[in-house]
Amino acid sequence: MTGPSIGVLSLQGDVREHARVLEALGAEVSLVRRPTEIAGLDGLVLPGGESGVMDRLARSFGLQEPLREAIASGLPVLGTCAGLILLADRILDGTPGQQTLGGLDVTVRRNAFGSQGESFEADLTVPSLQGPAVHAAFIRAPLIEEVGPGARVVAALPDGRVVAARQGHLLGLAFHPESTGETRFHELFLQTARED
């Protein structure tokens, strides 16, 4: 039996890292660069990278509307770091004219923790995951400033700032699980992709 068919948006960012984790978990992974490559997917990953660049490239490659439609139609999506920004309904401190794909009822602040040099790692308690604390890497990370009534908090920093949220088939993380050997979020995402 083959695993779920998962696309990784491959415009820019940490595409290979996500593909490796997903393949190790049994998914059939394809790279998404064109609108025609969305059809037939069981799920999609929006990776970390530079959200402003990813937004511009998605629009110039004709991907923005097909991605919005797929998300609105119930395609399971995992967004990490810049991918969380793309998935959010609202963005603060975006680049001029920056747009999101939307779907996740949250407001995110881009580069909320500062520059690359202010990147950090932290252990997070995630009640919905079994096992030890999640060791999370925050690299020029966004922050979820507001969680609307449609979404729910999945994880927060010890000081209460929200760094992960879920809404139905959508999961947005401000950090990079693919870079710390943390696979439980990908497993949760694949479970959603198999169920849909």
| Radius of gyration from C-alpha coordinates of the chain | 15
Q: Which of 18, 50, 169, 176 is catalytic?
A: 176
Contacts of residue 137, Cβ cutoff 8 Å, sequence gap at least 6: 119, 121, 175, 176, 179, 180
Active site annotation includes 178: yes
Number of helices followed by number of strands (H, E) in the chain? 5, 12
- From 175, 190, 169, select the one nearest 82 (Cα to Cα): 175
- From 29, 33, 41, select the one nearest 13 (Cα to Cα): 33
Pair of tokens at residue 194: 């198999």
Q: Which of 81, 169, 182, 186 is catalytic?
A: 81
- From 133, 141, 124, 37, select the one nearest 79 (Cα to Cα): 141
- From 129, 133, 135, 118, select the one nearest 177 (Cα to Cα): 135
How far apart (Å, rounded) are the C-alpha atoms in residues 88 and 72?
A: 13
Q: Which of 18, 50, 169, 178 is catalytic?
A: 178
Q: What is the per-residue DSSP string for 119-138?
A: -EEEEE--TTS-SSPEEEEE
Active site annotation includes 145: no
How far apart (Å, rounded) are the C-alpha atoms in residues 133 and 61?
A: 39
Active site annotation includes 176: yes
Q: Which residues are catalytic?
A: 81, 176, 178
